[in-house]
């Protein structure tokens, strides 16, 4: 063998063999340094579990947003009366009129439904001694369920005849139905709302969402004409106008058309703000996107900090570990280990610990997420991605934070290492 | 090539005799350790001060042939361990050239030196230097981690070596469960695993009692008789006497040589 001239680079087979042997030896480090292993695994597991919970929560947010948009209707928009300044009692100005409804219906192309909505809160709904407390009593024109893309589980929707006659009929939200009738069918039954009796003609499907602080399923729908005649509400104005279009592609264009029309109808000067608020699924996505972005940033920083703490624990313990293993490093170099072999050994040891920590943390995170889900705080569907993310980040943390101690070990002088200094 | 002539009856037999093959040649080897009073990077420290160094080896010239059993003997601070480290490619000379098998190895890369150490050289130290959390067998197999020879064959050889050295029933013991002599035998088995050409021993009996020391030195003699070159460092003249050639070091220089 020529000592000087032979290339000292290893071939693929040699690299594979030596690396696999070093990896195998690294497995022993679990038992050889149990305290170090436990501390690193725990530190990473805590960070990793929070990362898993956070990414699961953010995943859940996406699902909720999708459901929200689906419930709202991608082909629909809502016009809310009043400007954006909330009054002292939490209400908004009443600016939407019948004329607005008619002109939108007649002037805007592609409009399928225009359904105004007026409502009142504060009346208990009673049936045979059972009551639903303070549901939102909504006055609507015909086709409420269709315009809100809100299916009925039984019965029928309001029709034009109900509205023309001021019929004392109602469609129940699922929470009200549950409170009054449980498993019994309410169709045709008489319920009492305030001082008036109403016949139940339909039941809406459960949505499970909130509108402000109110549960959207805690409502009853009655004809608009009945509402204004039997409850003390503004007869000339609506709180909300629901508009549904034939297609969802040009929602932003329709939004601008409706804005222009309403500004014209409300005689707003150029310098004046809108006295209404337009809400479309696009706007919901933008709003939720901003909210989710903030949430991601905040929670992401929390998760990153947790992982960094784990990383610093790792770096600290590995630095101490290198110091206590000078002789081992020295003898390995004396028998032929290269700098790269020593580096790889320490990186393997670190990554094994962090990946085990990440795995345990991932499991803890998923269990905790499901527990939180069982409390009704959020919905969790099992997804492998938060788990894989947790493992990947743990691996990267292992590489980054063990690199310095590993390089220190690799660069030790053989003689100094053997002498333990 | 030298010839030996033997007369057998009336016939004259000429038997060629191989001349000893040169294995190691040192030319004017110096090793200077720079000791600066303050930090090396301090710009306020003069260049002259930085250059103040402790010259441990002061121009060593020597040759060692294949199959020799050489003892480097000297008192503490004579430079014998430093010389051994340079010979074992664990350290580099500050000045001079080191020829191993006729090639200058004093300026090879670290990786190249690692390969040579793994394939041709091995070490036995006074403090054994066994990995505490590994078994005797795993300690012997340590050099096997860093070459591409099949692990199964190396494991078989490690087991055979441990058996030959009387540790057949101790191979799965950790160093803490072995006596000093047994630990040194494990270190010797490790040194033999890759069938090295040269074995370097740095005070190998320094921590052993006299009976165990004799056993260990006998093992070195056996290894030498099997053709391996042994270079042993010791301060003890009795230990040095087990070698065939004693090189006396004094104050970083060769003060004399003796053939035993």
Q: How confident is the model at residue A410 (pLDDT cuts 50, 70, 90)?
A: very high
Residue count of chain A: 421
Q: Per-residue pLDDT for B253 more than 90? A: yes
Contacts of B85 in chain A (CB under 8 A): 415
Contacts of B118 in chain A (CB under 8 A): 335-336
Note the pLDDT tens digit of each residue in A386-409: 788 888 999 999 999 999 999 999
Note the pLDDT tens digit of each residue in A316-343: 999 999 999 999 999 999 999 999 999 9
Q: How many helices (H) and strands (E) does chain B have?
A: 8, 12
Contacting B residues, span 94-113, partner chain A, CB-CB under 8 Å:
100-101, 103-105, 108-112
Q: Euclidean distance between the first and final Cα of chain B, in Å? A: 25
Q: Per-residue pLDDT for B18 more than 80? A: no
* CB within 8 Å of A16: residues ≥ 6 apart: none
Measuring CA to CA, which residue among B111, B70, B109, B67 is closest to residue B87?
B70
Rounded to whole angstroms, the Cα distance separating A121 from A213 reads 13
Contacts of A331 in chain B (CB under 8 A): 129-131, 142
DSSP string covering A149-190, please? T--EEEE----HHHHHHT--EEEE-HHHHHHHHTTS--TT-E
User: Using an 8 Å Cβ cutoff, are A322 and A409 in contact?
Assistant: yes
User: Using an 8 Å Cβ cutoff, are A155 and A187 in contact?
Assistant: yes
DSSP string covering A213-236, please? TEETTSEEEEEHHHHHHHS---SS
Q: How confident is the model at residue B1 (pLDDT cuts 50, 70, 90)?
A: very low
* CB within 8 Å of A194: residues ≥ 6 apart: A123, A124, A230, A231
Note the pLDDT tens digit of each residue in A291-306: 878 888 888 888 888 8
Per cent of chain B over pLDDT 90 is 63
User: Using an 8 Å Cβ cutoff, are B14 and B5 in contact?
Assistant: yes
The more confident residue out of A86 and B60 is: B60
Rounded to whole angstroms, the Cα distance separating A404 from A388 reads 26
Contacting A residues, span 13-52, partner chain B, CB-CB under 8 Å:
13-14, 17-18, 21-22, 25, 28, 31-33
Contacts of A8 in chain B (CB under 8 A): 109, 111-112, 114-115
Contact assignment for B117 to A334 by CB distance below 8 Å: yes
Q: Which of B25, B56, B100, B111 to mutate to test the interface with A (most CBs of A within 10 A)?
A: B111
Contact assignment for A335 to B142 by CB distance below 8 Å: yes
Q: Quote the Cα angle for B101-B103-B107, to 5°.
A: 130
Rounded to whole angstroms, the Cα distance separating A100 from A69 reads 25
Measuring CA to CA, which residue among A410, A338, A30 is closest to residue B145?
A338
pTM of the model: 0.70
**Chain A CB within 8 Å of residue B123 CB:** yes
Q: What is the mean pLDDT of chain B?
A: 86
Q: Which of B34, B106, B128, B131 to mutate to test the interface with A (most CBs of A within 10 A)?
A: B131
Q: Per-residue pLDDT for A352 more than 90? A: yes
Q: Per-residue pLDDT for B44 more than 60? A: no
Rounded to whole angstroms, the Cα distance separating B213 from A395 reads 49
Per cent of chain A over pLDDT 90 is 27
**Chain A CB within 8 Å of residue B143 CB:** yes
Rounded to whole angstroms, the Cα distance separating B6 from B4 reads 7
Q: What is the pLDDT of residue B2?
A: 46
Rounded to whole angstroms, the Cα distance separating A22 from B77 reads 38
Phi, psi of A73 (to 5 degrees): 105, 115
Q: What mean pLDDT comes out for the span A237-263?
A: 84
Note the pLDDT tens digit of each residue in B131-157: 999 999 999 999 999 988 898 999 999
Q: How confident is the model at residue A39 (pLDDT cuts 50, 70, 90)?
A: very high
């Amino acid at each position: 063998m020529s000592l000087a001239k032979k290339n000292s680079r290893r071939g693929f087979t040699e690299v594979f063999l030596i690396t696999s042997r070093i990896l195998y030896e690294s497995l022993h480090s679990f038992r050889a340094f149990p305290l170090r292993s436990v501390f690193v695994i725990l530190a990473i597991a805590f960070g990793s579990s929070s990362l898993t919970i956070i990414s699961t929560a953010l995943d859940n947010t996406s699902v909720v947003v999708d459901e929200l948009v689906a419930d709202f209707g991608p082909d629909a928009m809502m016009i809310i009366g009043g400007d954006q300044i909330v009054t002292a009692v939490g209400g908004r100005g009443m600016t939407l009129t019948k004329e607005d409804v008619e002109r939108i219906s007649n002037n805007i192309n592609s409009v399928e439904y225009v359904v105004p909505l007026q409502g009142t809160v504060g009346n208990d709904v009673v049936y045979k001694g059972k009551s639903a407390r303070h549901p939102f009593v909504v006055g609507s024109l015909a086709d409420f369920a269709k315009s809100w893309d809100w299916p009925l589980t039984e019965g029928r929707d309001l029709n034009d005849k109900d509205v023309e006659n001021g019929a004392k009929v109602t469609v129940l939200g699922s929470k009200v139905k549950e409170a009054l009738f449980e498993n019994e069918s309410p169709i045709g039954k008489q319920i009492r709302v305030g001082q008036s009796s109403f016949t139940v003609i339909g039941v809406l499907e459960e949505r499970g969402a909130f509108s402000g602080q109110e549960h959207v399923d805690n409502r009853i729908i009655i004809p608009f004409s009945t509402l204004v005649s039997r409850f003390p509400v503004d007869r000339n104005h609506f709180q909300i106008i629901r508009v549904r279009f034939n297609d969802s592609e040009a929602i932003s264009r329709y939004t601008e058309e409706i804005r222009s029309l309403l500004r014209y109808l409300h005689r707003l000067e150029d310098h004046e703000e809108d006295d209404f608020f337009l809400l479309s699924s696009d706007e919901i996505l933008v709003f939720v996107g901003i909210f989710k972005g903030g949430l991601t940033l905040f929670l992401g920083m929390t998760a990153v900090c947790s992982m960094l703490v784990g990383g610093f624990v790792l770096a600290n313990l590995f630095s101490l570990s290198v110091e206590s293993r000078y002789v081992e490093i020295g003898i390995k170099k004396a028998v032929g280990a290269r700098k790269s072999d020593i580096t790889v050994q320490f990186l393997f040891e670190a990554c094994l610990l962090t990946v085990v920590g990440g795995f345990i943390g991932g499991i803890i995170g998923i269990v905790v997420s499901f527990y939180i889900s069982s409390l009704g705080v959020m919905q969790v569907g099992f997804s492998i991605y938060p788990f894989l993310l947790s493992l990947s980040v743990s691996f990267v943390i292992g590489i980054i934070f063990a690199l310095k101690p590993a390089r220190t070990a690799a660069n030790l002088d053989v003689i100094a290492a053997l002498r333990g200094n | 090539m030298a010839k030996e002539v033997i007369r057998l009856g009336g016939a004259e037999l000429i038997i060629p005799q191989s001349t000893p093959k040169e294995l190691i040649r040192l030319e004017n080897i110096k090793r200077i350790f720079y000791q600066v009073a303050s930090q090396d990077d301090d710009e306020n420290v003069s260049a002259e001060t930085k250059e103040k160094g402790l010259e441990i080896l002061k121009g060593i010239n020597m040759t060692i042939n294949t199959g020799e059993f050489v003892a480097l003997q000297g008192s503490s601070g004579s430079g014998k361990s430093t010389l051994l480290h340079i010979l074992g490619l664990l350290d580099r000379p500050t000045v001079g050239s080191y020829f191993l098998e006729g090639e200058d190895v004093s300026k090879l890369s670290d990786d190249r030196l690692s390969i040579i150490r793994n394939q041709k050289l091995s070490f036995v130290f006074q403090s054994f230097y066994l990995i505490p959390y590994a078994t005797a067998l795993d300690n012997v197999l340590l050099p096997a981690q860093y070459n591409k020879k099949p692990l199964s064959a190396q494991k078989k050889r490690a087991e055979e070596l441990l058996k030959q050295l009387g540790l057949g029933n101790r191979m799965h013991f950790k160093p803490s469960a072995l006596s000093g002599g047994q630990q040194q035998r494990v270190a010797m088995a490790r040194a033999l695993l890759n069938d090295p050409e040269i074995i370097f021993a740095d005070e190998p009996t320094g921590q052993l009692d006299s009976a165990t020391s004799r056993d260990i030195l006998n093992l070195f003699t056996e290894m030498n008789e099997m053709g391996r070159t042994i270079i042993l460092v010791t301060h003890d003249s009795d230990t040095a006497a087990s070698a065939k050639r004693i090189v006396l070091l004094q104050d970083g220089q060769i003060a004399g040589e003796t053939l035993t």
